[in-house]
């Protein structure tokens, strides 16, 4: 299986909101960096990645992901995608994301997402950011 194929499955798992399956693609020391949020939001290792994803995406009804481009060069994969967050209260948030993934021994060792903070925040339902902050403070 190519790294690009792994990424397609990774995003299918994310779309199913199966954070354990997402983290299973990651090495024990994988770094997930949400670049717009800063270093404090970096999660290291599958357990921390599951906690981070649960804190930000765990309340979603659906997470529809469209992959626009995948570029693979050796152990590096670039993925351009759009996520549409479906909140149980009916709101939808559409977020363009560019990501860099680096592989080692068939597992993701680096996951770095680039996206625009105002684009995300301005589409969220009332109280969402407070819930995310509280959830991440527990982890």
pLDDT (tens digit per residue) in 65-103: 999 999 999 999 999 999 999 999 999 999 999 999 999
Q: Is 3-138 in CATH node 3.10.450.50? A: yes
The residues spanned by each domain of the chain are 3-138
pLDDT (tens digit per residue) in 10-63: 999 999 999 999 999 999 999 999 999 988 889 999 999 999 999 989 999 999
* Nearest C-alpha neighbor of 115 from the set 132, 101, 96: 96
Tokens of 120: 């995300």
The C-alpha atoms of residue 138 and residue 135 are separated, in whole angstroms, by 6
């Amino acid at each position: 299986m190519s790294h690009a194929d792994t990424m397609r499955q990774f995003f299918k798992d994310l779309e199913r909101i199966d954070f354990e399956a997402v983290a299973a693609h990651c090495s024990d020391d994988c770094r997930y960096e949400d670049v717009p949020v800063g270093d404090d939001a970096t999660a290291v290792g599958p357990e921390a990645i599951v906690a981070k994803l649960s804190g930000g995406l765990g309340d979603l009804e659906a997470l529809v992901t469209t992959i626009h481009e995948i570029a693979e060069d050796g152990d590096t994969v670039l993925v351009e995608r759009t996520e549409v967050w479906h909140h149980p209260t009916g709101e939808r948030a559409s977020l363009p994301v560019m990501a860099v993934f680096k592989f080692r021994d068939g597992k993701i060792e680096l996951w770095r997402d680039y996206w625009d903070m105002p684009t995300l925040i301005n589409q969220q339902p009332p109280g969402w950011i407070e819930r995310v902050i509280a959830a991440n403070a527990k982890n």
